[in-house]
Structure formats: structure tokens, C-alpha cells
Amino acid sequence: MTPNYTLSGRYRIIRSLGEGGMANVYLAHDLILDRDVAVKLLRLDLRDDPKTIKRFQREALATTELVHPHIVSLYDVGEENGMQYLVMEYVKGMDLKNYIKEHFPLPLQQVIDIMEQILSAVATAHAHNIIHRDLKPQNILIDEHGNAKITDFGIAVALSEHTMTQTNTILGSVHYLSPEQARGSMATKQSDIYSLGIILYEMLTGSVPFKGETAVSIALKHFQNEIPSVRDFDAEIPQALENVVLRATAKDPRDRYATVADMASDLLTTLSETRVGEKRFEPEDLGNDETKIMPSADIAAAIAANRRADAAKKSQEAPVTTDPSMQASEQTPADAPLPKRSWSKRHPIRRRLILFGSIAVLLVAAIIVGLELSRPQMTTVPKLAGMTQASATKVLAKRQLSVGTIKREKSNAVAKNQIIKSTPGSKKSVQQRSRINLTISSGAKQTAFGNYVNENYADVKSTLTAVGFKVTQRFSTSDVAAGQIISQDVVAGSSVLPTNTTVTFTVSAGSRYVSLRDLTGESQTDISNYATANRLNLIFKQGYSDDQKSGYSYDQDPEGGTDVRAGSTVTVNMSKGSQPANADLAESFKVKVKVPYQALNTATATANDVKIYLEDDSHLIDSLYREITITSTTRVTLPFQLTGSQTGKYRIVRNGVTVAEKTKVTNKDATN
């Protein structure tokens, strides 16, 4: 399919996105709805194969039944000139396989979040009695916001070296193939759970558990070898998290999770302190010693080859006889003449020459060793970036190195008086007593802030953080494409110091609805990750709770299960623990703070954007309390309620720059 070809008069092909064993995928533009889509086109060489056509149609049918935020949506099905095609949601990003390669190691919380999304999608499929049969990272797409979406429901897999097809009663990509599928049995929901366990293993370790030169050798390992321990790869992985992998990939399907929902529920608490010290999962003995039927001729041949190899190895390791008479007969033939006298006695001159030569060689070697010892030893340059000159001098001295020339330059990414780089750079090999030149920051330089409205948030954030800006986002329901910047709180054209500026972008969350999860009992970090993934805004408050321990949520508004639009705000109450005896003695007072107005050197904007953050008995400092705009110097009133000896906090940010801050507020700061 060539670019600019218009399929059915509606879908204009832009470029190829990938090629598979059954179909090729193209990026196209829907001319009617004015949106980008993915077109999956059945390969021309397979369009007359009835089995392939049936599998292609099965994918269309399966995907039509499944409506889920983490399953790629199907928009249209058609045929043109004998070419069958599917029109699907275009997910801008990459597949999970490449995402792991580019971002490994993934933070454990991110691994859990991605897996929770995948499990939620598979649970929906299983609820419709649809078994994916080919779950693998290549069939899971990760969009620009880190959201996972499963694709390729019901379609046959590529006919490659590491793929086993239904020809031998085995279906599925071999690296993620369940033991029962490898034996030729029918795939079940537990088969999908096994594949999910392998995917989780790969996210934790960066590679698949079993490798081999052929598909058959890998399949053998799936039902013969134990899954390698992820904790042997990284001891920081909790045993509870490894147990999820072990249970999902148990050889016997009866030892695995009964449902995908059970796996998701178990996974959700793996980082909880309550599961520290958990014992390693061991499958139950369910009497699995019965004879298994394996219809694949390739697997049977491989097993026979392994047995022949073992027999040959044993024959090569046969013990050597220790009979002295046998050794003598082997070492000295019966008719060999006996020696009359030693060679050294018959050749005295040669013996002396060899002796003197050996002494000469030893002397030369000693001289070479002495020269080597007198030379300066080699060492590596340590990482000095971010250190002060004084700290770098001490670190270099430990490696017999010293500071050379000093160069100073402006930097928006490195704080003043900290090292930007060294020459030679870190990890370079140099001789001891070498001098290392340093480039030190002389401070940030002001720069004109750009206008980023209508640009992609992920791209802008990457650009700005690289030069020292702190970048945050909040979402807004909009018909604009999700992820696109709608507004910014730092005025375009204003002069700012990047390292001293926090810019908040209002980003389109699209117009879809989200079924709000019950967030009670979760940590602030987990809730924040969930909100970002679903493009929801959060307001955190705090209070006392006898039902929830400190640091975990005890209430939310709206409640879990409510359908809300992306871009909505959810208020979550975090527990401070049980109510203390002196809680009734809380004192309320007000603090007035003057916010200075800053005249802007732009012709289009005059107002200052002001964000207020405070912390007391009810509020948290990292959650926005109030936002206002000012056109002149303004006094704001901040209400506080504090119990006992507790202190409060406030921070006021004007156009991205903190202009007022206090970390220990008491009633002594109250104003009338």
C-alpha cells in the first residue's frame, strides 16, 4: 500500500506502521471524521486463504464486542478490490517490548500500574469468553502518557522462527507460550494468565525467562524448566511481587490464579508493608505425574535428541582403568629399549648454555617488571558533575588526581558553583597524578519563555526539563486532542530563570468518561499515578481516621464507581491516623501575606497568575489550595487550623516563581 492511496474513498494512507505474519498496519487519516487511524490490511498473498480470512474476521468480531479504555478500539471493517481491512484506533507511542528496552529498569510502581491496566483489559475479554491466546509485549501498545492498550484479539500470529502455529496443534508466540499450549492442548483463560506472568517477568528483568536457538527448544523449557527467580536478578524486588510471577506461571493451570481479577487484586498490594517477609510461593502437589499427550512431532523429536545427547555424554565420561599393568603397557611398548644414561650427562655444554640463557631471561623479566612498577598507575575519572570544586578536589585526591584549569559558563540546568562537566569525562581512563579540567556553572541566565499552547505536553515537558524548568500539568475536559496544551501559567515572552521557575500547563484530557476507581486505602503516590494515567485532577486533603492508618486515603469525592469525564477533579482525604485526645483543642487563626505585583514586559498580558499552597490540619502543601490573578500588589488571607504543637506551612507562587514561603506557621503569625 503506497502513501496517499485513499482506501474506500475515506482513509488516506500516510505511512507504514509495521508488518506482521497475517497483516500489515498503516497510519491513515480519516477524511470524514478528520482524525488519524490505524488501518490493518490483510496481506495480499493470504487474501485467498480461507483460514486466514476467518482469523481476520474473528479479530474484527472479538474487538467489536470489547469496549475498554485499555483495548484498542475498532472503528470500521471493509473490503476493497479483494483487500480486507480493519480501521482501528491509532495509538501514538510504541509497543511494550520497545518501551521496556528504552526505559528499563522500570520503577516497580510503574510496572504494577501498567500491569493493572493490562489485567483490567484482559478481564473484560475473559468476561466476554474471549481468550487472547497471543498476549505478548509486541501486542500491547503504550501511548505518550504511559497508558497501555491491547491489540490483536483473535488474529493468528506471525509465521516466524520463534512462533509455533496451529499446524502442530500449538498456537501462540513461543516466548510467552503456556506449557499446556506447548503440549498441544487447547488454550484457556489460565493460558492467558501464564502469558501475563511472563510479561510481568520481562518488565521486571528486561528479558524473557527462556531463550533458545529454535522455537521447539524454547517450548520445551516452558514445561520442563522452572521460571528463573526475578529476585536473583534484582534482590530489591519484593518477594510478594515475585510470588505473583511464580503463581501466574505455574506449570499446572490449577496452581495459577483462578481469574485475571484475582491476579490484579494480588498484584495491587505487593508493595504494601503488610506483605514484607512473605514466603516464596510454592505450587501445591496436585498429582501431576500422569502421562501427557504431546501431539507435536517436533517436540517429540527434540526430546529424543536430548536423550541421545545425554547417552553420548555418559559414554564419553567412562572411567579410565587404574590397573598398573595396563598403564605400563600403554606407556611403554614391550620392545622399547631401556635408556642407558640421562641426556644432561651426555651433553654438558648444552646444559650450561640453557642454564645461562634461563638466567638471562629472568634478568630481563625483572628489569621489565621494575620499569612497569615505576610507571604511573592507571585510574578512572570519577563522576564530578553536580559537585562543588572543593568536593571534587577531595574526590580526585583519593584517586591520585588533581584539579587542572577552571572554566566558568552560564547554565540553566546546573546550579551556580556546581560542576557542569570534567575533561576528561567520567569513567575515562587516565594516569595517576593527571590534572582534570573542570567547567563550573556561573549561574543561570534569564531566557524568554515561549508560547507552547496547542503543542504536545509530553514533548514540551521533555524540552523544558532538560534546561532546568520544573514542569507540572493539570487536566481539562476538552474537544481538543488529548495531551495537547490548552494554556500556561507563565506568560509567553516573559523573562525567567529556568532553574527558579515552575510552569503549570493546562492539558486537554479529551472528552471520554472514566469509571472512577475506589481509591480508599491507597497511598498518595498510587493515587497520583492513577489520576495521571486517567487524566484526572486531584485535590488532597487530610484528617483523622480511626479506620485507616496514617498516609493512606479514607474518603473520596466523587465515590468509587462513579462515571466522571476525563479532566474532572477528585478530592481525596488522607489519614493522619487516629484522632488524638487534644483534637478538640484545635486553634483557628488567619495569616495575611502581601503578594507583590510584577509588571510584565509583554504587550499581550498584564495580570499575574498566583497559586497558593498551604498545610494545616485539613490541607496538604503539595496540593493547590487556591488560584487567583492580580493586576496590582495584593494582600491575601490564609486560614489555618492547627492542633496542639503542630505547625503549618504556606507557599505562594507568582507566574511560576515562589515569592512568599514559610515552613513553620503558628498562631504568633496571626494577623488581625
**Residue-wise pLDDT tens digits, 268-293:** 899 988 888 899 998 876 544 443 44
Angle in degrees, CA 299, 304, 308, rounded to 5: 145
CATH 3.30.10.20 in the chain is located at 378-441, 447-511
Give the residue, 9 or 342, on which the prediction is more confident.
9
Mean pLDDT for the chain overall: 82
Q: Is 134 one of the catalytic residues?
A: yes
Give me the pLDDT at residue 66, please: 77
Residue 15 has pLDDT above 80, yes or no: yes
- Which tens digit of pLDDT belongs to each residue from 405-448? 888 888 767 778 899 999 999 888 888 888 999 999 887 777 88
572 contacts 518 by C-beta, under 8 angstroms: no
The residues near 178 (Cβ < 8 Å, ≥ 6 apart) are 172, 187, 190, 191, 194, 195, 222, 253
Give me the pLDDT at residue 358, please: 72
As a whole number of angstroms, the distance between CA 206 and CA 202 comes to: 5
Q: CA-CA distances (angstroms) from residue 507 to 539, 565, 607?
A: 17, 14, 21
Superfamily, domain 94-275: Transferase(Phosphotransferase) domain 1 (1.10.510.10)
Per-residue DSSP letters for 24-73?
EEEEEEETTTTEEEEEEEE-GGGTT-HHHHHHHHHHHHHHHH---TTBPP
Give me the pLDDT at residue 329, please: 38
Instruction: Exactly one of 45, 48, 134, 555 is catalytic; name it.
Output: 134
Cis peptide before 558 (omega within 30 of 0): yes
CATH 1.10.510.10 in the chain is located at 94-275
Please, which residues bridge with residue 82 across strands?
none
Residue 640 has pLDDT above 70, yes or no: yes
Mean pLDDT of 484-498: 88
With cell 501575606, the residue in question is: 593
385 contacts 419 by C-beta, under 8 angstroms: yes
Mean pLDDT of 283-312: 54
> Residue 294: pLDDT band by 50, 70, 90 thresholds?
very low
CATH of domain 6-89: 3.30.200.20
Cis peptide before 424 (omega within 30 of 0): yes
> What is the total residue count of the chain?
672
Query: Is 447-511 CATH 3.30.10.20?
Result: yes
Helix (H, G, I), strand (E, B) or coil at 539: strand
> Residue 332: pLDDT band by 50, 70, 90 thresholds?
very low
Per-residue DSSP letters for 461-478?
HHHHHTTT-EEEEEEE--
As a whole number of angstroms, the distance between CA 388 and CA 416 comes to: 9
CATH 3.30.200.20 in the chain is located at 6-89
Give me the pLDDT at residue 610, please: 92
As a whole number of angstroms, the distance between CA 447 and CA 294 comes to: 69
CATH of domain 378-441: 3.30.10.20
Residue 309 has pLDDT above 70, yes or no: no
Which pTM value belongs to this model?
A: 0.45
